[in-house]
Amino acid sequence: MITLEDCIALCGLTEAQVLAIAEHEHVPEVIAAGLGETLLRQAHGPERVRQMIVDDVRAAHARGDLRHVRELLVCLKQFLDQHPEAVPSTAG
């Protein structure tokens, strides 16, 4: 039987990143792992993952959950370190 940990290990994302996708999309973690893996292979998919995490940060901030904001910011930094193609362009 394949476990959630197996799915996370195979998808190219960390557990925190998969949890952020699950939170954003309101889906189970195993579905989020599959979605994340698919997005990483698509043009502009990493940018979509980045935006999901940013949206989660904003939602946590809006509800005053500063602990979760900090967790998500760490998640976002790790994601951008691992996937530099998702870093927003500063060219205008």
pLDDT digits (tens, 9 = 90+) for 30-50: 999 999 999 999 999 999 999
CA atoms within 13 A on the CB side of 34: 7
* Residue 8 belongs to some domain of the structure: yes
* Residue 34 belongs to some domain of the structure: yes
Using left for φ > 0, alpha for ψ between -120 and 50, and beta otherwise, residue 41 falls in alpha
For residues 1 and 38, the model is more confident at: 38
* Residue 18 belongs to some domain of the structure: yes
Rounded-to-integer distance, Cα 76 and Cα 88, Å: 12
Calculate mean pLDDT across residues 10-22: 96
Mean pLDDT estimate for the chain: 94
Q: How many domains does the chain have?
A: 1
Given a cut of 80, whether residue 91 has pLDDT beyond it is: no
* Residue 64 belongs to some domain of the structure: yes
**Which residue range forms the structural domain that includes residue 10?**
4-85
Reported pTM: 0.92
* Residue 62 belongs to some domain of the structure: yes
The residues near 77 (Cβ < 8 Å, ≥ 6 apart) are none
* Residue 50 belongs to some domain of the structure: yes
- 16 to each of 13, 21, 75, 78, 83, how far by Cα in Å? 8, 9, 6, 9, 15
* Residue 91 belongs to some domain of the structure: no
